[in-house]
Every structure is written in C-alpha cells, then in structure tokens.
Copies of this chain bind each other. A is one copy, B any other.
C-alpha cells in the first residue's frame, strides 16, 4: 500500500467532515469495558477483541497517539489510557482525526457519552446534531399518548427536535427494527392508529412494521437529509434484511423529496453504490467498515464502493461510538485507503492528479457540505449555540 505521494499529502491535510458519528464515553474505562467497546460482538472468554482486525489497528495506529510505540501490547495500551484519563485520551484522538465538523447521532447512549458540544470542544472542531427518530418515537410513547394521537404527537416531537439549533439531519435504525423488506407505501391514519394501539399496550422498542414505515414517511415530511443505517451492525441486525437494495420501491415513491444517506452498507456497499448511481437523492458511506476493517482493508472496501458510483455521492463518516480511537481510526483509514486508491489510478494514468485531488476533497468534505448546508459548510461562523471551530 503506497503511503506517500501528492494525494496522500492532500488527504492528510484535508479537514474532514465526519457526517455520522456518536459521542465518546465520558469515563475511564476498565479493560473489559474498553474491549467491549471495540467489537460489535462482546468480550467473550478466551477471545480478546484485540485479536481482530480492529484490535490490531488500535495497537498500530492509536498507541502512538498515546505516546506508546506502534503495536503496543494490549495491557500497556490499557494502562496508558487509564493513566492519561478519558479527557486527555478523547482530546488526543479527536484532534488527531483532523475533523472540522462532526455530525453526531445523539440518540444512542447506553452509557454516558460526550454531547455534540463536548465532542466539539474536545476536538477543537464544530459539531452538529443528527436526530434519531426511533428514540423520539419511543419517548413519545413513554410520555403517554393515545393511539389516535400518536401520529401527530410523533410528528410534533420530530418537528420540534429538528428545529433545535445545530440539527442537520435525521436518522433511522429501521434496519435493526424490521429491515427494509417493508411495504413501501405511506400507511393510512387508520393503520397507524391501530398499530399504535398495539404498541402502546405492550410497550417496548418500536418494531411494528406499520409504525416503522410511518416513521420513514414522517422523515420525508421533515425535509432534512435522512440517514439510514444499512448492513453491518451488532447481533441485533438481520444482515440480509438490511440490504439497501430492498429500499428500491420506497426510493421510487420518495424521489424528489429528501436526500437519503445510506450509512456503512458493508457488505452491501456495491448495492448501495448502485442506488446512489441511479437515484438522484441517494448518497452512501462505508463508515463502520473503516475502523472495523482498519487501514489494511479500507482501500479494498472503498474500491468496491466507488466502482460505479458518481464521486459526488460518497461521503466520509467514522461511525465512531464510545471510544475516540474510532474517530481517529475512521479518519485515518479513510485518508489512507482513499489516497492509495486515487494515487494508484493517477500512477496508472487512469486519472489526473487534479481530478484525484478534487475527488478527495469532495468525498472527505465537500459532498457533506453540499448535502447538509450552512451548519456544516460554514462551521467557523458561530451560530445556534454551536461551538466555534478552533482556528
């Protein structure tokens, strides 16, 4: 893998927009807690999450940020992490990511994590918010609502949420709840009320197919870009039902409304790229795969994602959650993988250097600026309570 050349230098110097990530844990982490945060599985007896591609990448690329030698042993890594304390660890990795704007999904926090504002301060960057709709719907249900009032209560809650300062997008985890093999049509009021009646009786997570469809269609009405988890995630996902190709009928029905951003996508990134190629409103990233595969395979995944897709349609995200190592690893993998891909095409005279540099800026930053608007494209102008970007 070439690690030098003008494209590498340009990408190394490019401030990224991380258009989808989460907060970092605001506590010191014991060995088990850290290990469980660096796997989509769990920390199993006899199988250390360090013995995986992501664990190897943490030791290789994160250890030096904590002043350790490359490939430091797990025990040394964990000890150094504790010695520095979570504030310093977060600060170092977030700064190392050289990200200028983070778009933070605030709807998933099984343990306390940094708010967007806290993330921004720690990174010396700006942060925007992505509103997770399932969490909003569940809060509406938990707050007490009648079945025939659910639809309007959810809509009001969503409209209120997206008017909050700094919100640039909404997100759905329908992939986890029902998958995408849904009736694509907007459900009727009667259907929604009947489904809400069932749900409100039994409670729990929002998993009713009618209500998930209703949530997706409510997202359409909100007018902001809609981020959709697709593909790889934890054991809660049924991978084959999270294939974004299953969304095709719905994408036809919603064409001309909101942008739809397919997140992660692996191992269906070719399917996602197809959708981004034939639907004007569809974008994609390969977020989660960037840190889980690490730099060793990031180029390969990007090569597949970029086989046919217009260069205006790929975005960068880290999808980091919990440990700030992942905000850094995502950025590093993206920079190295994309640079290797582009530089090799320049070297083979398949692409000019100026085109390569343009594609690097687009995918690393400008496509997100274009998609999400002023809050992302002019992050240094303080507004709406967002922190000023460090100069």
A interface list, Cβ under 8 A from B: 1, 3, 39-42, 44, 46-47, 49, 51-54, 56-57, 60, 70-71, 232, 234-235, 237-240, 243, 245-246, 248-249, 252, 266-267, 270-271, 274-275, 277-280, 289, 292-297, 300-301, 303-304, 306-313, 345, 348-352, 355, 359, 370
A294 / chain B contacts, CB cutoff of 8 Å: 350
A245 touches B235 (CB 8 A): no
In the complex the two chains form, is A279's CB within 8 Å of B235's CB?
yes
Copies of this chain present in the complex amount to 3
Would B297 and A70 count as touching, CB distance under 8 A?
no
Query: Which one of B238, B245, B310 contacts A51 once the chains associate, using CB atoms below 8 Å?
Result: B310
B71 touches A352 (CB 8 A): yes
Choice from B40, B44, B52, B252 contacting A235 with Cβ under 8 Å: B252
A182 to chain B, nearest CB (A): 14
Given A312-B46, A348-B1, A350-B56, A238:B232 Cβ within 8 A: no
Residues of B within 8 A of A350 (CB): 56-57, 60, 294-296
Known: A52-B310, A56-B350. 15 other contacts (CB 8 A): A42-B280, A49-B310, A52-B309, A53-B307, A53-B309, A60-B350, A237-B248, A239-B245, A239-B274, A267-B271, A293-B308, A296-B345, A296-B348, A297-B303, A297-B307
Bound-complex Cα distance A308 to B57 (A): 11
For the complex, give the distance between the alpha carbons of A235 and B249 in Å. 10
Is the pair B267, A60 in contact by a Cβ cutoff of 8 Å? Answer: no
Asked if A234 and B53 sit within 8 Å, CB to CB, the answer is no
Q: How far is the CB of A372 from chain B (nearest CB, A)?
A: 14
| Given A270-B266, A274-B232, A274-B239, A53 and B308 contact (CB-CB distance below 8 Å) | yes
Q: How far is the CA of A370 from the CA of B51 in the complex (A)?
A: 15
For A53, A292, A351, the residue with the greatest tally of chain B CB atoms inside 10 Å of its CB is A53
Contact B52 A311 (CB under 8 A): yes
A294 to B370, CA, bound (A): 27
CB-defined contacts of A60 to chain B, threshold 8 Å: 349-351
Partner of A41 from B53, B243, B280 at Cβ < 8 Å: B280
User: Does the CB pair B355–A56 fall under 8 Å?
Assistant: yes
Complex CA–CA separation, A311 to B274 (angstroms): 28
Contact between chains at A307 and B279 (CB < 8 Å): no
| Beta-carbon contact of A278 and B311 below 8 Å | no
Structural contact, B301 and A300, CB atoms closer than 8 A: no
The smallest beta-carbon distance between A38 and chain B, in angstroms, is: 11
Interface residue from B278, B312, B313, B370 paired with A40 (Cβ < 8 Å):
B278
Instruction: Determine if A313 and B47 form an interchain contact, defined as CB atoms under 8 angstroms apart.
Output: yes
